[in-house]
A = this chain, B = another copy of it.
């Protein structure tokens, strides 16, 4: 059997860090065609609203409607979709939703305040966003789990109205997606997509209400549209290709590791699957398992391309070194596939999610363990976090100053304001001083 193409690297080589950086390098190409199309679509929806939406939906989704009412899915369609599922699918969705909800309940921030000796009160008021838009891709990449992972934290936060948009090319609907919307309590669903759906949510149209934030994955047009409307509305992260890093001490099953690498690689050809292992014999066993298992996979072409383009099996001489490399990679998903995996959690400073131990396979986290599957990619775990309830709450500072507080603080503010040459700042504080 010929060996499956995947990089074999050794972290002891002097050139290793340069090889690693080259492996991780990924820059999405600026694409003028996409830029121009998005510019036109945003302007179209902003100026003519519903009329533009109907026209773009006809052009891009091959869906011909005469009015906007035909682009909203009534509640009973969602209920019917849920009822249409097999009991296994319905139960799986419901249990997954319950577990994700239970986990996210722990993330809810509460308002706080403290009172000073002079009666001043300082704090932060935490409130949910009023209205959020959830983008769900249509077609092949239409994932009900994505509905759960985006809708549930918004609902736990207490978002007033959650509006889902999902394109239905040629009218084709995904019952699992609609069922997930029903289970999570999405308030309204419109069958629009692409940059035009993002524009409608950001600016509002005669029919689509303007939202305060847009979340959810999408293609390059959707990503570019989100980038453009940021500021007018909030957006979640613009995600890069999905990544898994597995650290192995050579314990456990090579087949499990191979399949976990496949699970990442099957997303698309740019997905990244990397193994760091202290045991060369185990690396060989994983490579052998890859060779043996790959032909059995329905998505084998995608997996093979992803492994060849962006995968790697890397020998490291210690688990300490593996953790140091993991911190440099700051992976979206990190599996600690080793004995006493819990002892190594504190060695990891940067990762979107850490899957601890041989039983904690990433797929459980993708669907039903409870934590969110929307995670920082492309080294952004160095500075950002999984999607959570905190992304659907915002804070307002409360500055309640007593008369006595104004005397004490006013003198300090006056000195500092004069030091900055801001005399009106100083005088507004001084006016409150009793002479």
| Interfacial residues, chain A to chain B (CB-CB below 8 A) | 88-89, 91-93, 95-96, 103, 106-107, 112, 114, 120-125, 127, 129-130, 140, 143-145, 176, 212-213, 231, 233-234, 238, 253, 255-256, 259-260, 262-263, 265-267, 297-299, 303, 341-342, 345, 348-372, 375-376, 378, 380-386, 388, 390, 394-403, 405-406, 409-413, 415-417, 419-429, 431-432
Known: A355-B400, A359-B405. 11 other contacts (CB 8 A): A89-B415, A92-B412, A143-B420, A262-B427, A350-B394, A360-B401, A361-B406, A365-B397, A367-B417, A376-B394, A381-B394
- A61 to chain B: closest CB distance in Å? 21
Binding site of A, secondary structure by majority: helix, strand, loop or mixed?
mixed
Q: Once the chains bind, are B352 and A401 in contact (CB under 8 Å)?
A: no
Which listed residue (B345, B375, B383) contacts A125, Cβ 8 A?
A: B345
**For A93, A234, A368, A384, which residue has the most chain B Cβ atoms within 10 angstroms?**
A368
Chain B residues positioned under 8 Å from A114 (CB to CB): 106
Pair B299/A419 contact, Cβ less than 8 Å: no
A212 to B405, CA, bound (A): 38
Contact (Cβ within 8 A) A420 B352: no
Residues of B within 8 A of A260 (CB): 428
Q: Does B145 lie within 8 Å of A416, measured CB to CB? A: yes
Distance in Å from the Cβ of A247 to the closest Cβ of chain B? Answer: 14
A393 to chain B, nearest CB (A): 8
A303 → chain B closest CB, angstroms: 7
Residues in B whose Cβ lies below 8 Å from that of A233: 383
- Residues A399 and B92 in contact, CB atoms below 8 Å apart: no
Between-chain CB contacts (< 8 Å), 16 pairs: A92-B412, A92-B415, A122-B369, A122-B370, A127-B349, A130-B382, A143-B420, A234-B380, A342-B400, A368-B416, A369-B401, A369-B409, A371-B397, A371-B398, A376-B394, A385-B396
Would you call A367 and B432 a contact (CB within 8 A)?
A: no
Whether the Cβ atoms of B360 and A400 lie closer than 8 Å is yes
Contact A144 to B428, CB < 8 A, known contacts A130-B382, A396-B354, A406-B361: no
User: Which partner residue on chain B sits nearest A349 by CB separation?
Assistant: B127
Min C-beta distance of A418 to chain B, whole Å: 9
- Within 8 Å CB of A303, what residues of B? 424
CB distance A385 to B395 under 8 Å? Answer: yes
Who on chain B is nearest to A106 by CB? B112
Does A348 lie within 8 Å of B424, measured CB to CB? Answer: no
Chain B positions within 8 Å of A213 at CB level? 383
Interface centre among A350, A402, A424, A426, by most chain B C-beta atoms within 10 angstroms, is A424
- Contact A428-B371, Cβ < 8 Å, known A103-B122, A342-B400, A354-B396: no
Q: Which of A262, A400, A406 has the most CB of B within 10 A?
A: A400
Asked if B398 and A428 sit within 8 Å, CB to CB, the answer is: no
Residues of B within 8 A of A145 (CB): 416, 420
Of the candidates A125, A253, A298, A345, the one having the most CB atoms from chain B within 10 angstroms of its own CB is A125
Question: In the complex, which residues of chain B have a beta carbon less than 8 angstroms from the beta carbon of A368?
Answer: 409, 412-413, 416
Picked from B143, B176, B419, B429, the residue with its CB within 8 Å of the CB of A144 is B419
Determine if A424 and B262 form an interchain contact, defined as CB atoms under 8 angstroms apart: yes
CA distance A289 to B412 in the complex (A): 25
- Chain B residues positioned under 8 Å from A123 (CB to CB): 106
CB pair B356 A400 closer than 8 Å:
yes
Q: Is the CB of A95 within 8 A of B365?
A: no
Residues of chain B within 8 A (CB-CB) of A140 are: 421
